[in-house]
Amino acid sequence: MKNIKAIIFDAYGTLFDVNSAAEKCKDKIGEKWEGFANYWRTTQLEYTWLRSLMNRHKDFWQVTEDSLDKSMKAFDINSSMRNELLNLYKVLSTFPEIKQVLYKLKEKNYRLAILSNGTPFLLNELVKSNNLENVFDDIFSIEDVKTYKPDPKVYNIPIKKYQIEKKEVAYLSANTWDVSGGGNYGFNPVWVNRNNIIFDNLDYVPKYQVKHLGELLDIIK
């Protein structure tokens, strides 16, 4: 992948481990913590898509709260844990290789940015809690356009600011629907397939696939 001017990352599930909030409570939740975490994430995403389709926008924090409430009922988790889980969601952990890779890319003078469903406040909290404040040039939120990925209007946000060609963007996401969204828009997507899953049939097949972000260093020259 050549002539890249900006490397843009999805946040949730790509840089930050969305299961880490529930995992930190696994002693209280018990063996069902992972199933609960996956259900919460799936419900959260479904709510973003449904709200976009209905044109009934709520920001990502409100969606996260709503999806947590349903998930706690579904898994019979005591409501007293609600605030603890929400507070932990604000400070999700990065995946192990993230910091080292980001700093190496920064040394190569790439423009680095986040493009996420998250609100500006949530994204800035995540970046600060993981000591990444000096890494990213920009943090872009869908709140600028009030609709969720994979709407093309979202992917246009950084292009509008940077005034570069779509093909000059490397776009990284662990979410297949997000990779398809970015690819159909015109980015050069890299699918971060940490769990060896099957790609969705959404009329797009990514040229690049990595198991972790460390492999990105071999793709972008």
Superfamily of domain 20-89 in CATH is Putative phosphatase; domain 2 (1.10.150.240)
6-17+92-219 shares its CATH topology with 20-89: no
Burial of 168 (0-12, 13-18, 19+ CB in 10 A): middle
Burial of 33 (0-12, 13-18, 19+ CB in 10 A): buried
57-75 pLDDT, tens per residue? 999 999 999 999 999 999 9
**How high does pLDDT run on average in the chain?**
97
Provide the residue ranges of all domains of the chain, joining segments of one domain with +. 6-17+92-219, 20-89
Give the Cα separation of 25 and 111 in Å (integer). 36
84 has pLDDT over 90? yes
137 has pLDDT over 90? yes
101-115 pLDDT, tens per residue? 999 999 999 999 999
Instruction: State the average pLDDT over residues 113-139.
Output: 97
The amino acid sitting at 59 is: D
Q: Which of 10, 17, 59, 178 is catalytic?
A: 10
221 has pLDDT over 80? no
Task: Decide: 118 and 11 in contact? Cβ < 8 Å.
Answer: yes
CATH number listed for the domain at residues 6-17+92-219 = 3.40.50.1000
Instruction: State the average pLDDT over residues 135-157.
Output: 98
- 10 in catalytic set: yes
Q: Which two tokens stand for residue 137?
A: 């040039």
